[in-house]
A and B are shown apart, each in its own frame.
Chain A
Amino acid sequence: MVNLTTRIGTMTLKNPIMPASGTFSEELADVFDLDCLGAHVTKTITREIRGGNPTPRVCEVQAGMLNSIGIPSKGLEYFKTSILPHYADYETPLVVSISANDADSFARLCADVTLPGVAAIEVNISCPNIEEDGKAFAMRPRTTGEVMTKLRAATDLPLWAKLTPNTGETVEVAQAAEEAGADALVVSNTLLAMAIDVRTRRPKLGNLMGGLSGPSIKPIALRMTYQCAKAVNIPIIGCGGISEVEDVLEFLIAGASAVQVGTATFINPTVMPRLIDGLAAYMHHAGIASIPDLVGSVRDEEAADGVVFMEAAL
């Protein structure tokens, strides 16, 4: 029997498969037993009630989708009275995703969700919708460091920083988050994108632009996971286009200690339990006893010069 457990700082997860924020909620319990997952990650919660963006909120592109949902949120009180109690029945740890428009209110919200029943806080410092034109804290190392310092001071719970691909400074942002006290990095959120209907000449999203997710962003998220794993000493949680067992393996080998599955759940709502079973079956057949045997095992020694060149090209 293989051992699927993985450690994210002080937390031990029963397996490395968890949902990506925004693609998971208690409704998925209609389809399978949610206690099989490594962690539960809520949709991003904001303090105030938010309506979200105009429709259409999603559109298809090749091997992926764009979304401009816009973080509709029923607010902090609803989270405390309705969402949090729901997850008390599960053994799987609950990770609460939060966001805010400025660093101080972000930190206050972080303190307010530091509650019994919450195992970790994922800070969505990267959502491309919440500020104008997709600007976000995690686009720059300075703003990342500033907000993470305040968030760190606001909670004793494990703090996961969700990074964005919408930056030219992936490594510097990752290091800034680590220096400011992040316990793990989630790499990464959606890539800002656009699609136009050529017949009507209208943007396909009501919000004009939105985040690209699905298999088409996987190589980008994998590259960032690899870069971050090389640059920091805290665990990485890979996220971006994962839908097959081979994708999970790629992220683990690149240096992730766990992965988040998002868009694939929309296509196949039972994909997460199937990935858990598939990963166990693969490890059994390949003679791999435990997850740490895979994490960061990429054979990149001979390519070191190439890595330097690619870093320069960024």
Chain B
Amino acid sequence: MQNVTTLPARNPAPAGRVVEGTARVKSNDIVTGDYRLMVLDAPREMLDCRAGQFFHLLCPVLGGFEPFLRRPMSIYGFDAEAGELRFLYKVTGEGTGALALLRAGDDLNLLGPLGNGFTIREDWRNLLLVARGVGLATLAPLAMAAREAGCNLTAICSARAKNLLMSVEEFRATGAEVIAVTDEDGTSSVEALREVIEGRIAEGGIDAMYTCGSNRILTLLQDIGARHGIPGEIALEQQMACGLGMCHCCVRSFRRGGAIVHERVCREGPVFSIQEAMGW
């Protein structure tokens, strides 16, 4: 009966842009506190990624953790030439708890890349990103995309404390200007952020704004965006089952055309218009 329980591998669909496959863990180390960085040696066909997209990870049953469903995780970094895929995550539950136990040489099954990435319109020159905590990880690949598009990027990075500021090096490495604000310095309040952003708008203008991870920042950018007519995008999270758009588990509400509409974060998102997004 040995062959009964083994599922043979099948050639992937020829036209499928979404790949289900295995990547090998190169490293999976603590960055700071509960945050970990996992670097994977991933097959090339998985690495045609866009900033803002995500993968659906089959977290292992390991060390007492028994995750059942896959876990969606935004891409922290990808490098097709080096065959590398990176995730920055906070260990919070069953899925990430199991993920944290993976060691170099272990295999991890992934599905992706999934969803729609951030937009950088051709006529945009000055981009602003404002994000907080682990939300900064989702925006890290945007710095590379901004450079490739020939745009200037200002990154306002917010966290409770300095050691929790994510992605700052990634942003600096691409030539972005980084403004770090923290709760411990008293520089991260909404009013302080508003002053900095309004200052930038007055100086040279901002063509588009991007954010992830904070309700307060979303509200602030909605207000500033509406006032100055600046478009923006937000990457949103929601609990998911299939990750492909089949189960309709990950819907969120959006304001559109005077009505409230529901959209799937996995399929229509995870990147949405800042003005249409609703707080949580």
Contact = CB atoms under 8 A, between A and B. Distances in A.
Interface of A: 22-25, 27-33, 43, 51-52, 55-58, 60-65, 67, 69, 72, 214, 244-246, 249, 265-271, 273-275, 277-278, 281-282, 285
Secondary structure type dominating chain B contacts = loop
B84 to A, nearest CB: 23
B241 A58 contact: yes
Nearest to B18: A30
Contacts, number: 133
Q: Of B16, B70, B241, which is in contact with the most chain A CB atoms at under 10 Å from its CB?
A: B241
B124 interface: no
A266 B247 contact: yes
A37 to B, nearest CB: 12
A63 B14 contact: no
B246 A28 contact: yes
A31 B4 CA distance: 24
A126 B7 CA distance: 31
A27 B244 contact: yes
A281 B10 CA distance: 13
A275 B3 CA distance: 12
B267 interface: yes
B170 interface: no
A282 B68 contact: no
Nearest to B262: A51
Contacts of A52: 248, 251, 262
B20 interface: yes
B187 interface: no
A56 B239 CA distance: 7
B53 to A, nearest CB: 13
B32 interface: no
B69 interface: yes
Nearest to A285: B3
B248 A31 contact: no
Nearest to A245: B4
A47 to B, nearest CB: 18
8 contacts: A28-B244, A58-B247, A60-B69, A62-B66, A69-B247, A269-B20, A277-B8, A278-B3
Contacts of B243: 266
B215 interface: no
A51 B262 CA distance: 8
Contacts of B251: 52, 55, 57, 72
A104 B69 CA distance: 38
Contacts of B18: 30-31, 269
Contacts of B239: 55-58
A275 B241 contact: no
